[in-house]
Structure 1
Amino acid sequence: MSDSSRESAPRSTTGPNRRSLLGAALGGCAGLLVLDLRTAAAAAMPRSSTIADTGAWGARAPKATIDVLGHAPSKIVVHHTATPNSTDYSRAHAFALARSVQDHHMDNNGWIDTGQHFTISRGGYATEGRHRSLAAVRDGSRHVVGAHTAGQNRLAVGIENEGTYNSVDPRDTQYTRLVELCARLCRRYGIEPHEIYGHRDFNATDCPGDRLHALLGQLRSDVAAEVGGDPTGVSWPLLRPDDEGEGVRILQYLLNEHGASLTADGIYGLATESAVGDFQRSTGAIVDGLAGNQTWNQAVRERGSGDRGPAVRAVQHRLGTTVDGIFGPNTETVVRSFQSASGISSDGVVRVRTWQALVG
């Protein structure tokens, strides 16, 4: 499966119609969502801090095998469904929402299953989205490949929040549940609070809405209060044509890691501008030829002992050691020294904080 939010499974043309219309055509993550209000008896169920799995809310079977990776995700991406801000806060509504999202993703988008891993209703109920997501969290060392953020589906857990948050904030109950879920994921997977992002930090979309996106700094802080760690959000310099320097050279190496064929000369010329545009197009980012937050967020990948390739060359060139593209003991040693000097946890692994310091 490609690392994008679009899946290749064929659209279903058979099976029961399980949807009733609620809402209009929507942008952002979810598109047109409609709710099936069956299983009304669920309204009598008590509130619970647990996540309702796919069996609890009556999910359809996926169209194809769910891809489960043998490593933990490294980040969380927050979304909104871009649906009406319902005043039905019941568990029955949350279950109906989960079914409607799955129906839309499978029948309209042609995906194999729900795209995101988890959904939080406006009533504060959390449901499992893509099958096997909850089992992967319980395992703590596996990640289900989703379809929620182009370029990040093999790396990030996706959380949808019911509603549209361009001009209003989520309900307190919903936000509290989001903090709890993010804290659980961070604890289980070892994700740092600063690795909580919004969909628009990677792709050309307004998701998760202006107001929810503006709350992400508070979300990171609230999660850090629960699990520890650094809540300061990730930000990058804006590089543009005619810029020169080590930041440009690192960018060129990273673009080569993703399939470009640039000379890493540290000069942001026409070839680099074109490669940036191609990379942005391939990852669903805003295509402008300028290397800003979306481009950097999509380009950086964790690198450590045993890794090879242009990204390792970027690290080696920047730190003045042998540039052979092999992350061996010597590279690890100089990375540790650089981290220590930069006030970063000295573990010899190049994660986002170390990349930020390398770029400068």
Structure 2
Amino acid sequence: MGGGVLLATAALPGIAHAAPAPAIVDCAAWGARPNSRVVNVVTRRPVKILVHHTATPNVDDLSRRAADDLARGIQNFHMDRRGWLDSGQHFTISRGGFVLEGRHRSLEALRSGRKQVEGAHCTGQNLVSIGIENEGTYTDTGPTGVLWDRLREMCAHVCSQYGIAPTEIYGHRDFKDTLCPGDVLYGMLPRLRGEVGGMLGQRLEGSSVRAASWPVLREDDRGPVVRAAQILLRGAGRTEVSVDGEFGAAMAESVRVFQAEHATEEVNGIIGGESWPLLTPPVRSGDRGAAAEAVEALAVTSSTRPPSDIGPVQWQQLLTAAR
């Protein structure tokens, strides 16, 4: 059930070409249960796309039937185990390249180009982003070619419909302490932004393709970014943390304590897009303390002179350069 009403591209700044929709299987066609409560629909456009993986097996069954089973399984988990009113994501792409509507009314809202369904795929982003789940686990391997093609087409169409810049395509980990969408798929996001930009008549390169982001740290990581995180954790009151540049089990436990203290969504010992902003206060020239010490440590490692004022983007740049 593809297609949809495309808005005039002149109304969407920066988009030279409209991108048609891939075929999209709606909720009724894959046998979705009714939503348990009213789906909230707002009259405003989302401003970004969040890419997820389902963290399910990388199955060899690429059939439509397998795709429908996947969508039903996700909905059952979200409704029965998490207590949500429906599937949390707006759309799902199977390893066989089938695109399925996730939460009810998501396809209707996309076709309008002016409405947004409130999702449940990433706290804090559910009213401003479109969540796209990709079947599989992409920690050590990449998605199938046909899944990638549909993801690219789907992102281009969503950008076209809502006037979203391709540079506003992110991974789940950019906003939460999670490994999602997996190291490999996350590492492919610059390519995705560039290919989507090409489909929309935009040429993206350099920093436009490689958006500033928070690095994910987990057990067994080591190096200068871990050292900076340890300095920041000590500054945040976790004085039991050793500053040795090694992310061991003791540090993971300290991170979990920090997360619990700050009521983060995940208490899992992973430092990602939710914990980093809590650990990295603004730093100005002449400041002292743990944050300033961490900035200096990162700058020395990366041979980069830090700017006089450090905010979220500058922190991301320093952490990425020292990675």
Shorter-chain TM-score tier: 0.5 to 0.7
Alignment-mate amino acid for residue 77 of structure 1: L
1:137 to 1:286, Cα distance in 2 relative to 1, 3 A: same
Alignment partner of 1:99: what SS? helix
Please report how far the alpha carbon of residue 150 of structure 1 lies from its aligned counterpart in structure 2 after TM superposition: 1.9
Is the contact made by 1:202 and 1:297 (CA closer than 8 Å) also made in structure 2? no
Name the structure 1 match of 2:44: 71
Give distance in 2, aligned partners of 1:242 and 1:205. 22
Q: 1:210 aligns with which of 171, 174, 183?
A: 183
1:122 to 1:67, Cα distance in 2 relative to 1, 3 A: same
Name the structure 2 match of 1:305: none
Residue by residue over 1:92-131, the C-alpha shift from the partner in whole angstroms, topping out at 9 and shown as x without a partner, is: 1111211111111111211110010000000000000000
Please report how far the alpha carbon of residue 282 of structure 1 lies from its aligned counterpart in structure 2 after TM superposition: 4.0
Residue by residue over 1:53-109, the C-alpha shift from the partner in whole angstroms, topping out at 9 and shown as x without a partner, is: 111111110000001122111111111111111111111111121111111111121
Give distance in 2, aligned partners of 1:70 and 1:151. 18
Residue by residue over 1:212-233, the C-alpha shift from the partner in whole angstroms, topping out at 9 and shown as x without a partner, is: 1111111111111112264331
Give distance in 2, aligned partners of 1:173 and 1:212. 14
Is the contact made by 2:173 and 2:273 (CA closer than 8 Å) also made in structure 1? no
Q: TM-score, normalised by structure 1?
A: 0.56
Please report how far the alpha carbon of residue 187 of structure 1 lies from its aligned counterpart in structure 2 after TM superposition: 1.0
Residue by residue over 1:233-272, the C-alpha shift from the partner in whole angstroms, topping out at 9 and shown as x without a partner, is: 13379998999xxxxxxxxxxxxxxxxxxxxxxxxx869x
Alignment partner of 1:225: what SS? helix
Give distance in 2, aligned partners of 1:123 and 1:242. 45
Alignment-mate amino acid for residue 104 of structure 2: H
1:295 to 1:234, Cα distance in 2 relative to 1, 3 A: farther
Give distance in 2, aligned partners of 1:279 and 1:216. 32
Residues 1:49 and 2:22 aligned together:
yes
Name the structure 2 match of 1:181: 154
Please report how far the alpha carbon of residue 287 of structure 1 lies from its aligned counterpart in structure 2 after TM superposition: 7.7
Name the structure 1 match of 2:134: 161
Is the contact made by 2:167 and 2:209 (CA closer than 8 Å) also made in structure 1? yes
Please report how far the alpha carbon of residue 355 of structure 1 lies from its aligned counterpart in structure 2 after TM superposition: 8.1
Q: 1:232 aligns with which of 190, 210, 222?
A: 210
Q: State the aligned residue count.
A: 234
1:293 to 1:58, Cα distance in 2 relative to 1, 3 A: closer
Residues 1:199 and 2:177 aligned together:
no
Q: 1:112 aligns with which of 82, 85, 90?
A: 85
In the TM superposition, 1:239-278 aligns within 5 A as none
Give distance in 1, aligned partners of 2:268 and 2:125. 15
Residues 1:223 and 2:196 aligned together:
yes
Identical-residue share of aligned pairs (%): 45
1:279 to 1:142, Cα distance in 2 relative to 1, 3 A: farther
Give distance in 1, aligned partners of 2:236 and 2:178. 27
Alignment partner of 2:75: what SS? helix
1:57 to 1:242, Cα distance in 2 relative to 1, 3 A: closer
Please report how far the alpha carbon of residue 286 of structure 1 lies from its aligned counterpart in structure 2 after TM superposition: 7.5
Alignment partner of 1:219: what SS? helix
Alignment-mate amino acid for residue 158 of structure 2: L
Residues 1:121 and 2:94 aligned together:
yes
Give distance in 2, aligned partners of 1:240 and 1:87. 40
Alignment partner of 2:29: what SS? coil
Is the contact made by 1:78 and 1:196 (CA closer than 8 Å) also made in structure 2? yes
Alignment-mate amino acid for residue 263 of structure 2: R
1:280 to 1:160, Cα distance in 2 relative to 1, 3 A: farther
Give distance in 1, aligned partners of 2:231 and 2:75. 46
Alignment-mate amino acid for residue 234 of structure 1: A
Residue by residue over 1:111-154, the C-alpha shift from the partner in whole angstroms, topping out at 9 and shown as x without a partner, is: 11001000000000000000000111111111111111122111
Give distance in 1, aligned partners of 2:265 and 2:165. 23
Larger relative contact order, structure 1 or 2 (CA cutoff 8 Å, min sep 6):
2
1:76 to 1:279, Cα distance in 2 relative to 1, 3 A: farther
Give distance in 1, aligned partners of 2:115 and 2:162. 9
1:133 to 1:200, Cα distance in 2 relative to 1, 3 A: same
Alignment partner of 2:27: what SS? coil
Give distance in 2, aligned partners of 1:296 and 1:205. 12
Is the contact made by 1:194 and 1:234 (CA closer than 8 Å) also made in structure 2? no
Is the contact made by 2:264 and 2:275 (CA closer than 8 Å) also made in structure 1? no
Name the structure 2 match of 1:90: 63
Contiguous gaps of at least 5 residues in structure 1: 1-47, 244-268, 299-313, 315-353
Alignment partner of 1:127: what SS? strand
Give distance in 2, aligned partners of 1:234 and 1:136. 29
Please report how far the alpha carbon of residue 199 of structure 1 lies from its aligned counterpart in structure 2 after TM superposition: 1.1
Root-mean-square deviation over aligned CA pairs: 3.5
Give distance in 2, aligned partners of 1:115 and 1:279. 26
